[in-house]
Amino acid sequence: MNNNPHIAIVGATGAVGLEMIRTLEQRQFPLGKLTLLASARSAGKSLTFRNESIEIQELKEDSFKGIDAALFSAGGGISKTFAPLAAKSGCIVIDNSSAFRLDEKVPLVIPEINAGDTFNHQGIIANPNCTTIVTLMALFPLHQEFQVTRIFASSYQAVSGSGAKGLEELKKQVSQIVEGHPLTKEVYPHQIAFNVLPHVDEVLDSGYTKEEMKMENEGRKIMHLPDFRASVTCVRVPVYRAHSISVSAEFEKPIQVEQAKKVLDAAPGIDVVDDTQNNVYPMPLNVAEKDNCQVGRIRKDIAMDNGLCFWVAGDQLLKGAALNAVQIAEVLAKGA
């Protein structure tokens, strides 16, 4: 990739696409030109980047000529159709969908963990699942020191993980309940306002959901740890933005709380926020719109040997999606 690359964003009008635009600007990414691509209904509209108005173009098969890298966030179907076409035209795709994450030929990258895998691409690089990213930001530094074997985890996932429609449904339902109006349900099978749903994504024959299995499958690939095991329950909660995960992790080596905090303090992209005596711990409100994840409630797991419990939170639209994708692009640009 050249020093001032031509970058495209596919799905520019979506929640993650908009964050990608903001992140490129805030991090002063050294691009020469930005192209915004979306569906035909958005074509002709404009978005602002670096005080300039950029007209959105319709995504087509020939949209990638002359583009160095494209950040995709338009769903798996679009990625499966257009990412190979982009790669064929010489454009490097950084894909935010689940379409290519477990493809052996496609690197699955969190730059703080496995940046070196980025350069093994054949035209497509995958962004991991948002919950996986936030969890591994805390788990991987501990793994490096103590060698993780398995985790038990429960996620508390914000409605913005369902896109703009999830946000609107929560806002609408809160208003309807407060005003005594009939409730409308379109995005979720049950009321999400003042409720929690232990159901994120499609349920598999095993009883786990696709979202729950991503932690184990993607974690193995990212950490280069084929025997890693993860038993996860994913829960949708009435929070606008930022995911939280409660983790109980088991390690090969004995682990002490102070050792763990020291390791996490030195890790990139995550802040230790842990003073329970003064009610200080990570919360979605405090990590929303922040680049770094936060980890706290760090304590010995009393139910298993060499165990540690912690609570980690992160903005799934940023580190869980847009920021991670831009960081991958930064790795490519630096390695050019």
Whether 143 sits among the annotated catalytic residues: the reply is: no
Which residue is catalytic, options 130, 143, 234, 293?
A: 130
Q: Any residues with CB less than 8 A from the CB of 302 and at least 6 apart, and which?
A: none
| Cα–Cα dist 116/100, whole Å | 18
For the CA atoms of 319, 321, 324, 325, the dihedral, rounded to the nearest 10 degrees, stands at: -160
Residue 121 is a catalytic residue:
no
Helical (H) or strand (E) element with 333:
helix 323-334
3-state secondary structure of 11: coil
Distance CA 210, CA 20 (A): 25
Nearest to 264 by CA among 302, 311, 319, 227: 311
Which residues in 301-313 are b (16+ Cβ under 10 Å) and which e? beeeebbbbbbbb
HSE-up of residue 87 (Cα within 13 Å, Cβ side):
18
The burial class, CB within 10 Å (0-12 / 13-18 / 19+), for 12 is buried
What phi, psi does 14 have (nearest 5°)? -80, 175
CA distances from 310 to 28, 144, 178 (A): 34, 16, 35
As to burial, measured by CB atoms within 10 angstroms (0-12 exposed, 13-18 middle, 19+ buried), residue 169 is buried
Q: Report which secondary-structure segment, H or E, holds 282.
A: none
Q: Phi and psi for 185 in degrees, rounded to 5?
A: -125, 115
Residues annotated as catalytic (active site), given as ranges: 130, 243
